[in-house]
Amino acid sequence: MYTHRMVRTLFHLDEAIHARLRDLARKKGRTVSELVREALVGLISGAFDSTTQINRSVEREAHELVAAELAG
């Protein structure tokens, strides 16, 4: 759980990415917001560098979704 103040942000996803993200959240018992936050923190912190081994499938899937969105 986050103990600091959150900022509400709006961004656009294409329907296919949104569907995959929603399905992943449902499978993992988490919210879409949690997965997006986790992916963005990993991206910003460098956790998703190609030289880094990512062990959790949720992190891998979340990174793919964010990368696809950033690629447009």
pLDDT digits (tens, 9 = 90+) for 49-68: 555 554 566 677 777 777 77
4 vs 51, more confident: 4
pLDDT digits (tens, 9 = 90+) for 8-59: 889 898 898 899 999 999 999 999 999 998 888 887 887 655 555 545 666 7
- Which residue matches tokens 């560098």? 49
Exposed/middle/buried for residue 14 (C-beta within 10 Å: 0-12, 13-18, 19+): exposed
Note if the pTM is more than 0.75.
no
Q: How far is CA 33 from the centre of its chain?
A: 8
